[in-house]
Amino acid sequence: MRFKFIEDRMNSAKFIQFLKRLHKDAGQPILVITDNAKYHHSKETQKFIKENEDEIILEFIPAYSPELNPDEQVWNHLKMRLGKCFIFNKEDMRKSVLAIMRSMQKQTALVKSFFQMRDTKYILETTC
């Protein structure tokens, strides 16, 4: 599981940088399941994907289908754990979110479980 903490709004340039880093870390072609955020479909993003079509593939889940997105399980788990933290300011929030996300990265079984749910099993079927 990879993530990047972004304090302000996500946009095409930041998404492209994320994809570059994700691909570099993987060291091989990657398949990225995305929702339909505007920056996923922007001209800049589509140009970048076309230029890297052998290395980075974007697949889009249908609009208004959060149950198909394993990321939603990541956020659900994060929010559950975050609700148990004492947060007094923005820096506390940042530190808590980063600590929880880093902890989740180390829990391979937990991350795999997000792909075992009824509505996200399709990913395993398409990538195996």
Q: How would you write the pLDDT of the chain (128 residues) with one tens digit per residue?
A: 778 778 789 999 999 999 999 999 999 999 998 888 999 999 999 999 999 999 999 989 888 887 888 888 899 999 999 999 999 999 999 999 999 999 999 999 998 888 777 777 666 555 54
**What contacts 94, CB < 8 A, 6 or more positions away?**
5, 7
Alpha carbon distance 47, 32 (integer Å): 16
What residue ranges do the domains of the chain occupy? 9-60, 65-128
Q: Please indicate, yes or no, whether the overall pTM of this predicted structure exceeds 0.85.
A: no
β pairing state of 56-60 and 30-34: parallel
Residue 114 φ/ψ, nearest 5 degrees: -65, -20
Phi/psi at 112 (nearest 5 deg)? Answer: -60, -35
C-alpha 26/C-alpha 30 separation (Å) is 7
DSSP 103: H
